[in-house]
């Protein structure tokens, strides 16, 4: 949806207005089209309403005052974009949106850094799947005398020990894939819960 441009009497006012709106557009590019339109409409309506008030000031002075009150888009929009991106990410479960949202929110607290680490740890499971393809006999979930010993790669010396056995065998890759999916869903649900608690 195209935002209706505000009409100005003075060309300088129009240029200032368009420059400000372009700065907003640059800032909100990471957002969905719907969210971009919503933000642009919000700012546009604030500017329009501010200009509608009958003051003795000329048009350009009024516009500059309004834009100063709205603030620098590069600063004002940062938290809004971070929050909207996080909302979109937790709604869609899209990993690309999630990483972008976490990158935008990393400065908003330690918890977002921890969530980033949790998501990155999922690559450990991916690495184990890759390692299992390259070394089927040396990578797995191992137990020694009926107790857990290791998840990953073992040296040849350990593999010769009769008390050590691989638990999953051919089920290793499906179990790792399932672990990735379940962990991803669980972490994302926790992130969604954290976001809803923050909103209250």
Q: Are residues 33 and 65 in the same domain?
A: yes
**Average pLDDT for residues 42-59, to the nearest whole number?**
84
Q: Are residues 74 and 135 in the same domain?
A: no
Q: Are residues 74 and 49 in the same domain?
A: yes
Among candidates 78, 122, 111, 116, which has minimal Cα distance to 99?
116
What's the whole-model pTM score? 0.68
Between 156 and 70, where is the model more confident? Answer: 70
| Main-chain dihedrals φ then ψ at residue 53, nearest 5 degrees | -65, 135
pLDDT for the residue 81? 86
Torsion of CA 97, 103, 109, 115, to 10 degrees: 60
| Domain stop point among 67, 92, 117 | 92
pLDDT digits (tens, 9 = 90+) for 74-132: 888 888 888 888 888 888 888 888 888 888 777 777 888 888 889 989 999 999 999 88
Domain of 154 in residue numbering reads as 109-200
Domain count, the chain: 2
pLDDT for the residue 54? 66
pLDDT digits (tens, 9 = 90+) for 116-161: 889 989 999 999 999 888 888 888 888 888 888 888 888 887 778 8
> Is a pLDDT exceeding 80 seen at residue 61?
yes
């Amino acid at each position: 949806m195209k935002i209706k441009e505000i009409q100005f009497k003075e060309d300088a006012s129009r240029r200032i207005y368009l420059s400000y709106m372009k700065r907003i557009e640059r800032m909100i590019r990471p957002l969905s089209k719907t969210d971009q339109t919503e933000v642009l409409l919000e700012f546009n309506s604030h500017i329009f309403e501010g200009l509608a008030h009958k003051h003795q000031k000329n048009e350009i002075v009024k516009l500059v005052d309004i834009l100063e009150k709205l603030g620098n888009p590069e600063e004002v929009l940062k938290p809004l974009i971070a929050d909207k991106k996080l909302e979109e990410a937790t709604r869609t479960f899209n990993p690309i949106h999630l990483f972008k949202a976490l990158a935008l929110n990393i400065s908003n607290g330690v918890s977002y850094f921890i969530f980033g680490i949790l998501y990155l740890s999922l690559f450990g499971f991916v690495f184990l799947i890759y390692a299992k393809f390259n070394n089927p006999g040396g990578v797995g979930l191992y137990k020694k005398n009926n107790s857990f010993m290791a998840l990953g790669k073992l040296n040849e010396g350990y593999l010769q020990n009769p008390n050590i056995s691989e638990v999953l065998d051919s089920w290793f890759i499906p179990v790792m894939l399932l672990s990735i999916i379940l962990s991803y869903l669980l972490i994302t649900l926790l992130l969604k819960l954290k976001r809803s608690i923050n909103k209250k």
